[in-house]
Chain A
Amino acid sequence: MHNQPEIIYDKQGNAHVIVDYNDDYIGAKLGFWLFLFTEMMIFGSMFLIYAFYMFQFSDTFVQYSATLNVKMGGTNTFILLVSALTMGLSLVRLRQGNVEGAKKFIWATIVLALIFLSIKYFEWSAEIHHGIYPGSPTLKSMGDGAVMFFGLYFVITGLHGIHIILGIGAMIWVLGLVRKGKITPTKFVVLENTALYWDLVHLVWVFVFPLFYLIH
């Protein structure tokens, strides 16, 4: 299946390689970057809504930011930063030819992502336990600013959480591909793109964390 690259010549006799659409490393990465742009537009829209209501209810936003658990949020930030490192290291290991090492680092990333989700779960449960969730009567009684703040909090961290879950799914899929020999030290674009995705997920959190936890 792996043919010699197809070559054509111009009038001066210079050789030009025809890009094989079935095996195009740069194309695969370019396509994934474009996909990341769409993700940025999605989170960008959410930040736009945030900015809009932050401007309208600045005092309330600052007030309720203080009620969020900075320790849990901070731990999660740290966990995601480390997970971005392990994800990157898995790519480094793979390109060095160390497939087993790469697998271990992917597993480490998955474990860190799961810890992130569990901490998130405890945070959310605490808030829901206090009657604070979208559409709840308690939240409504706290005023418009609180409705917007916690609405944004749940929607943005929820959207981010969905991305974490999708990332875990992608990593498990990548592990399967490694096992089947479809990702190898010379054919690693899928793992590279997954690492790019994970970087985006962690980068979004780097913005989400201060916007909600640190503005007081």
Chain B
Amino acid sequence: MNTFSHTSFYDKTHTVFGHHNSKILQWIFSIDHKRISLLYLFVMMGFFLVAVCLALSMRLELFSPGQDIMSPERYNQVFTLHGVIMIFLFIVPGIPAALGNFLLPLQIGARDVSFPRLNLLSWWVYVAGALLAISSLFVGDGFADTGWTFYAPYSIKTGTNVVWALGAAFILGLASILTGINFVVTIHRLRAPGMTFFKMPLFVWGLYSTAWIQILATPIVGISLVMVIFERVFGVGFFDPTKGGDPVLFEHMFWIYSHPAVYLMILPAFGIASEIIPTFCRKPIFGYHSIAVSSAMIAGIGYLVWGHHMFTSGISETIKLIFSVLTFFVAIPTGVKFFDWIATMYKASIEFKAPMIWAVGTFVTFIIGGLTGLILGTVGVDVYFHDTYFVVAHFHYTMLGGVAFLMFAGFHYWFPKITGRMYSEKHAKYAFFTVFVGFNLLWFPMFLAGAFGMPRRYFDYLPEFEIYHKFSGIGALIFATGIIYMLITLYRGWRYGELAGPNPWNATTLEWQIPSPPQLENFGTIPYVDFQPYEYINGEPVHKMDLGVKEGNKDA
């Protein structure tokens, strides 16, 4: 990394135990938020690829009817492991801990997060949780086969190693809480002078709402999972009907967290979209305030809709209707965001660079995912669709086609900032189209299969569903190829790309006013922020600053 004209955070770092000569120790003990973000990023992407492989093995099993490559029991474990990795190891920490860690201080003009050592601790806790989850594969009767939801009473009765998986999820929740606390304090305390809440970039708004969900919802699932552990170890009986307990209570407590958790995943993703759209439309974002407030609204209402996961569990008719109405209500702030993004694009001269294509592609897939969510939020229809492939297709359209796609959009958008180099625009676009085609081919047939009655979590199916599984299988292969293609493109950009310069996109937020890659402690001079985050005149940013650390001026 010596080709850059400045020393970046790749050359210098703060570590928690003073100086280390070993490069590895310099990384894993670094308290620099940028390094921690990359630590998260690589571990997370590693697990993502593992979970993609697990998904491919399931698709392979389902490619033809009958048992092909795995037993039904193994299939149950594979989809549980796929779910646990994707939820707890990839998508929950995903955007906040990886991209958010890198960008939050940069976007608000801070030199680090409020608690750098806590930040490192949360990565270590995350790794410990990941190791516990993985080691449970090789202990006892293997990984849990309950599905990532760990529903009682099956999770109390099954012979597989549920306790370790629950323990892992609990520890990962702790890591998530620590990140949340860190971010809320950072946003409250370390914004550059003059930057009021309504002058913050919208990605920061997304992170802020997310961090509150992490703080207030994660403890509930944490303690519920601990209760299941107690159930198995001590036989307490809260969720065990043979002892007078109620399994539905577990479902409530599980979804009180896990439904807000999906907003925890999507809100920072929406934040990424709100960064990318004005940059490539080269005009101020339409309805800044409404986007900012809608994030907080989604976080708030998102707390009150968990019951829509339980329409078939025997809860009362009145409460079902209330949950259903509230579920529809979440669509309003989400719709506001989409309206604002599209209004920003209206009559703009849009540059369709790779990040913009990813973002616009996500609008297509997420709208399909979001609107099918409304179908599922309708009580009568949900009773029919419950636990079918329709649900599976819906949440993959929102989580993969929403959160993960926008995360990839963010990777492309901030790639030049993080690495200082540029990837091949051409290959990045081809990779997007491969993923996009594969994705729709993979998931859209599942809407149909589900609507015709294909149940989820089955390792086999009736012959009439074969055609959908064939399409899905081929789509899965194309999708996985596209992901590999994208990662190779990014890798080649990192190794051999051209130098990007501080602001390749002509973007306006503060992270683009410092060198790429950023230096240790980010800013030499911290600006007084008395302007909006997205100010363009005639397609050019209004404020251009050089805020980098000047070598020699400041002994960092």
Interface residues of A (CB under 8 A from B): 6, 8-11, 16-19, 21, 24, 26-27, 30-31, 34-35, 37-39, 41-42, 44-46, 48-49, 52-53, 56-57, 133-135, 140, 143-145, 147-148, 151-152, 154-155
Contact with A along B220-253 (1 / 0, CB 8 A): 1011100100100011111000011110010001
Query: Complex Cα distance A44/B215, Å?
Result: 14
User: Which chain A positions have C-beta within 8 A of B530?
Assistant: 10-11
Contact of B526 among A18, A38, A46 (CB under 8 A): A18
Query: Complex Cα distance A34/B246, Å?
Result: 31
Q: What does DSSP make chain B's interface, helix, strand, loop or mixed? A: helix
User: Which chain B positions have C-beta within 8 A of A17?
Assistant: 193
For the complex of A and B, the 4 pairs showing the least CB-CB separation, nearest first, are A144-B244, A135-B235, A16-B193, A41-B219
B359 to A: closest C-beta gap in Å: 32
Contact of B220 among A27, A31, A45, A154 (CB under 8 A): A45
Query: Complex Cα distance A140/B220, Å?
Result: 28
CB of B236 within 8 A of CB of A134, answer: yes
Contact status of A140 and B253, CB under 8 A, knowing A21-B116, A134-B236, A151-B237 = no
CB of A134 within 8 A of CB of B237, answer: yes
B119 to A: closest C-beta gap in Å: 11
Contact status of A31 and B194, CB under 8 A, knowing A134-B234, A144-B244 = no
Contact status of A8 and B216, CB under 8 A, knowing A52-B249, A134-B235, A155-B236 = no
Contact status of A148 and B253, CB under 8 A, knowing A8-B525, A27-B185, A45-B219 = no
- Can you identify 11 A-B contacts, CB atoms within 8 angstroms? A16-B193, A19-B190, A24-B114, A24-B189, A27-B115, A34-B185, A38-B216, A45-B224, A46-B223, A134-B230, A147-B245
Beyond A16-B194, A19-B190, 9 additional contacts (C-beta under 8 Å) are A8-B527, A16-B193, A18-B526, A39-B219, A42-B222, A48-B253, A133-B234, A143-B244, A155-B230
Closest to B240 in A: A147
Contact status of A34 and B189, CB under 8 A, knowing A52-B249, A134-B236 = no
Query: Complex Cα distance A18/B215, Å?
Result: 27
Query: Is B112 in contact with chain A by the CB < 8 A criterion?
Result: yes
Query: Is B495 in contact with chain A by the CB < 8 A criterion?
Result: no
Contact of A148 among B223, B234, B245 (CB under 8 A): B245
B233 to A: closest C-beta gap in Å: 9
CB of B215 within 8 A of CB of A21, answer: no
Query: Complex Cα distance A209/B129, Å?
Result: 34
User: Which chain A positions have C-beta within 8 A of B181?
Assistant: 31, 34-35, 38
Query: Is B97 in contact with chain A by the CB < 8 A criterion?
Result: no
CB of A27 within 8 A of CB of B219, answer: no
Contact of B193 among A18, A34, A144 (CB under 8 A): A18
Interface residues of B (CB under 8 A from A): 110-116, 118, 177, 180-182, 184-186, 188-190, 192-194, 215-220, 222-224, 227, 230, 234-238, 243-246, 249, 253, 525-528, 530
Closest to A27 in B: B189
Query: Complex Cα distance A9/B530, Å?
Result: 11
CB of B253 within 8 A of CB of A45, answer: yes
CB of B236 within 8 A of CB of A8, answer: no
User: Which chain B positions have C-beta within 8 A of A42?
Assistant: 219-220, 222-223
B83 to A: closest C-beta gap in Å: 23
Query: Complex Cα distance A39/B222, Å?
Result: 11
User: Which chain A positions have C-beta within 8 A of B527?
Assistant: 8
A8 to B: closest C-beta gap in Å: 6
Contact of A9 among B113, B115, B238, B528 (CB under 8 A): B528
Query: Complex Cα distance A154/B223, Å?
Result: 15
A82 to B: closest C-beta gap in Å: 29
User: Which chain A positions have C-beta within 8 A of B182?
Assistant: 31
Query: Complex Cα distance A197/B181, Å?
Result: 16
Query: Complex Cα distance A134/B236, Å?
Result: 5
B519 to A: closest C-beta gap in Å: 16
B290 to A: closest C-beta gap in Å: 27
Contact status of A30 and B223, CB under 8 A, knowing A135-B234, A151-B236 = no
Contact status of A30 and B236, CB under 8 A, knowing A11-B528, A38-B218 = no
